[in-house]
Chains A and B, each alone.
Chain A
Amino acid sequence: MSRRFQLTRSSAGLALLAPPLVLFLLFFVAPLLSLFWASLHTASDNELYGPTLTTAHYATIVTDPFYHTIILRTLGTGAVILLLCLVLGYATAYVLAPLPPRRRLLLLALLVLPLMVSNVVRAYGWIAILGRQGLVNSLLRNTGVIERPLVLLNSFEAVSFGLMTILLPYMVISVTNTLMAIDAQYKEAAQSLRASPVRTFVHVTWPLSSPGVASGMLLVFLLTLSAYVTITLLGGPRMKLLVSLVFDQVGAFRWPFAAALAFVLLGLALAAGGLILAILRPQRVQGKG
Chain B
Amino acid sequence: MSEFVTVTPSAVDVRFARVTKRYGDTTAVKNVTLDIPRGSFFSLLGPSGCGKTTMLRLIAGFELPDEGDVFIRQAHVNDIPPYRRDFAMVFQNFALFPHLTVADNVAFGLRMSGVARAERAAAVANALALVKLNGFADRFPKQLSGGQQQRVAIARAIVMKPAVLLLDEPLGALDKNLREAMQVELRSLQRQLDLTMVFVTHDQEEALTMSDAIAVMRNGVIEQLGAPREIYENPATEFIATFLGASNLIEATVTGTGTGTSLVTAECGNMIVNGQHPVGAKLKLAIRPERLLLTQAGAAEPGMIEALVRDVVYRGMTAQVYLDCGGQPLLAFVQNTASSALDWPPGSRVGVRMPAESLVLLRDKP
Contacts and interface: CB of A to CB of B under 8 A. Distances in A.
17 contacts: A183-B93, A183-B95, A185-B91, A185-B93, A188-B82, A189-B95, A192-B87, A193-B83, A193-B109, A194-B113, A196-B83, A197-B83, A199-B112, A208-B97, A210-B99, A286-B98, A288-B142
Contact of B82 (A183, A192, A199, A289): A192
B156 A193 contact: yes
Interface residues of B, number: 29
Interface in B115-168: 140-143, 156-157, 160, 166
B112 A194 contact: yes
Contacts of A192: 60, 82-83, 87-89, 109, 157, 166
Interface residues of A, number: 26
A83 interface: no
B164 to A, nearest CB: 11
Contacts, number: 80
Given A287-B142, A288-B142, A193 B95 contact: no
Residue from A188, A196, A210 with most neighbouring chain B CB atoms (10 Å)? A188
Contacts of B83: 191-197, 200
Nearest to B166: A192
Interface string B158-182: 0010000010000000000000000
B108 interface: yes
Interface in A191-225: 191-197, 199-200, 203-204, 207-208, 210
A9 interface: no
A186 B142 contact: no
Contact of B91 (A189, A195, A203, A207): A189
A190 interface: yes
B314 interface: no
Nearest to A207: B99
A287 B140 contact: yes
A72 interface: no
Contact of B99 (A188, A189, A193, A284): A284
Contact of A287 (B92, B112, B141): B141
A199 to B, nearest CB: 6
A250 interface: no
A285 B93 contact: no
Interface in B6-51: none
Interface of B: 60, 62, 81-84, 87-89, 91-93, 95-99, 108-109, 112-113, 140-143, 156-157, 160, 166
Given A188-B60, A287-B141, A194 B109 contact: yes
A288 B108 contact: no
B166 to A, nearest CB: 8
B99 A287 contact: yes
Given A196-B83, A288-B142, A188 B112 contact: no
B98 A208 contact: yes
A190 B108 contact: yes
Select the residue from B92, B95, B109 with max chain A CB neighbours within 10 A.
B95
Contact of B108 (A185, A203, A208, A284): A203
Contacts of B109: 192-194
A120 to B, nearest CB: 42
A196 B85 CA distance: 11
A193 B142 contact: no
Contacts of A190: 97, 108, 112
A188 B113 contact: no
A193 to B, nearest CB: 3
B99 A208 contact: yes
Contacts of B113: 194
A285 B99 contact: yes
B95 A195 contact: no
A285 B62 CA distance: 25
A122 to B, nearest CB: 38
Question: Which of A190, A193, A207 gathers the greatest number of chain B CB atoms within 10 Å?
Answer: A193
Contacts of A183: 93, 95
A191 B82 contact: yes
Contacts of A196: 81, 83, 112
B97 A189 contact: yes
Nearest to B61: A191
Contacts of A207: 99
A49 to B, nearest CB: 49
Contacts of B99: 207-208, 210, 284-285, 287
A78 B352 CA distance: 87
Contact of B89 (A186, A189, A195, A200): A189
> Which of A188, A190, A194 has the most chain B CB atoms closer than 10 A to its own CB?
A194
Given A194-B83, A286-B98, 5 more contacts: A185-B91, A186-B95, A191-B83, A192-B82, A208-B97
A204 B105 CA distance: 11
Contacts of B62: 188, 191
Interface string A157-201: 000000000000000000000000001011011111111110110
